[in-house]
Amino acid sequence: MAASPGGVAHRRHGRQPRHRRADVDGMRVTTPPRTVADLLCTCEPPASVAMACDALRRGILTTADLRMAAATARGRHGAERARFVAGTCAGRPYSVLEWHFHRRVGALGAGWRFNTPVHDAEGKIGDVDALHEETLIVVELDGHEFHGPDRFQADRTRDQRLAAAGYVVLRFTWDDLTHRPDDVIERIRRTMAHRTRLAA
């Protein structure tokens, strides 16, 4: 069967099990977890990570779907890569930049929440990339995709509301996370220690 525009046809011997296939507009296709498994097995990071993050952000997939995809890939070439991506996306990163941060934040201990809403007396301030609730530290990751020039004023206004509500905001860039990750973690660690002393 020829591939539809923008699609790729796959030929495999034998029929796909019923739980791995679905019908869309009369065309038999693989289910989302099986399709993700195929992509995770065949695409190298960061392409596979970008695909997983985008699907999580859009709500197309859940972390449970990623785990199922990794299980579906068992025994195939690329299965170890699929397990790696599924495992490192457990915190639901919405971008490759967030993925880099999630992989390292474990060194700071527990208590972190990701892509979580924060409120003040006026209502919802917004969803922050990462929040350490005990110390009220907010980490924002400034990638070009979501924090371009048109977002500059909105980000500054949000930072002001966060500060007024008692939060401290630390902003890091792609360059920070990919070239100076140890400095990022150490800066957050020092801020956490300082906030803990203030609260004592």
The fold of 96-199 is Endonuclease; Chain A (3.40.960)
Predicted confidence at residue 200, as pLDDT, reads 85
Predicted confidence at residue 31, as pLDDT, reads 76
Q: What is the dihedral of CA 160, 164, 168, 172, to 10 degrees?
A: -10
Predicted confidence at residue 169, as pLDDT, reads 97
Contact 52, 61 (CB under 8 A): yes
* C-alpha pair distances (Å), 128 with each of 11, 116, 162, 185: 43, 6, 10, 18
Question: pLDDT tens, position by position, for the chain (200 residues)?
Answer: 344 444 445 444 344 444 445 555 667 777 776 787 788 888 888 899 998 999 899 888 889 988 888 888 889 888 999 999 999 998 999 999 999 999 999 999 999 999 999 999 999 999 999 999 999 999 999 876 555 566 778 888 999 999 999 999 999 999 999 999 999 999 999 999 999 999 88
Q: Name the residue ranges covered by the structural domains of the chain.
A: 18-88, 96-199
Q: Is the pTM of this model over 0.75?
A: yes
Predicted confidence at residue 19, as pLDDT, reads 44
Name the phi and psi angles at 8, rounded to 5.
-130, 130
Q: What is the pLDDT of residues 31-89, one digit of tens each?
A: 776 787 788 888 888 899 998 999 899 888 889 988 888 888 889 888 999 999 999 99
Do β-strands 168-173 and 137-142 pair in parallel, antiparallel, or remain unpaired?
parallel
Show the CA angle centred on residue 50, arms to residues 46 and 158, nearest 5°.
120
